[in-house]
Amino acid sequence: MNVALAILWKDLVSEWRSRDRVMAMLVFSILVAVVFYFALPMLRPEELSALAPGLLWTAYLFSALLGLNRSFALELENDALAGLALAPGNRGWIFLGKAAANWVLISIVQILTAGVFALFYGIDLVPALPGLATVVGLGTVGICAAGTLLAPMAVRTGFREVLLPVLLLPALFPILAGAVEGSGAAVAGRPIPFAALQLLLVTDGIYLIVAFLGFDYVLDE
């Protein structure tokens, strides 16, 4: 546990000093919102509300990929990735520390991105905040669990910018299915379907357990 907390603190302090990863993700999300704004025809408010969850998760997903690609970039310098592997205790705690840091940083970008989407498309997300926050938080747990497991594999290759999305996107299909369905219900003012929450919780649990147990072998490779 101390290893996880130390890595979480290290990643958050490093990002606070540079802010390069959060700014890159935020700028990318805003650009996605701008592209959709000009690409979509003039729609009625109810039509925009129906499209909002899919548009929002498109921005969330691709900005998260950008951040996850950078999550192990610093560890490549001076062979710090090997230093992480030498940390005492179960290496699964290293995974939890990195995944928690990724979740915090991606969540900050998601909050700001939701505000940008609400401003651009004139959608009032305030009534939907409790349900939307629950769904987005659970979906982000799954994205961070799978992404933190696969990122150290991809970062050691010469095609890491391409390899991580190729590996990660198929694993995120159940996460996206539950997240978009739950977000759509929250934005529309309906109760979140239990099936969507169940899918997110089960998938998150599977990914967290597999990643915690398998991170030892990932660092060895």
- C-beta of residue 182 within 8 angstroms of C-beta of residue 200: yes
Angle (CA) 133-205-191 rounded to 5° is 35
% of the chain at pLDDT higher than 70: 86
Burial class (CB in 10 A: 0-12, 13-18, 19+), 192: buried
What is the average pLDDT across 64-78?
A: 77
> H or E segment at 94?
helix 92-121
Mean pLDDT, all residues of the chain: 82
Better pLDDT: 19 or 102? 102
Query: Which residues, 6+ apart, have CB-to-CB distance to 93 below 8 Å?
Result: 1, 2, 3, 4, 7, 87
Distance CA 5, CA 15 (A): 15
What is the average pLDDT across 112-137?
A: 85
Better pLDDT: 1 or 183? 183
What is the average pLDDT across 70-94?
A: 68
Is 202's pLDDT higher than 90?
yes
Phi and psi angles of residue 162, each rounded to the nearest 5 degrees, phi first: -95, -35
Is 10's pLDDT higher than 90?
no
What is the average pLDDT across 126-132?
A: 84
- C-beta of residue 92 within 8 angstroms of C-beta of residue 145: no
What is the average pLDDT across 122-142?
A: 87
Most confident of the following: 9-18, 52-61, 64-73, 135-144: 135-144
Is 87's pLDDT higher than 70?
no
Helix H segments across 122-189? 129-155, 160-171, 173-187
Q: How confident is the model at residue 138 (pLDDT cuts 50, 70, 90)?
A: very high
Residue 106, CA distances (Å) to 85, 111, 137 in order: 25, 9, 10
Angle (CA) 212-152-79 rounded to 5° is 115
% of the chain at pLDDT higher than 90: 20
- C-beta of residue 93 within 8 angstroms of C-beta of residue 3: yes
Q: How confident is the model at residue 206 (pLDDT cuts 50, 70, 90)?
A: very high
pLDDT of residue 43: 65
Query: Which residues, 6+ apart, have CB-to-CB distance to 96 below 8 Å?
Result: 4, 212
> H or E segment at 58?
helix 45-70
Per-domain residue ranges of the chain: 2-220
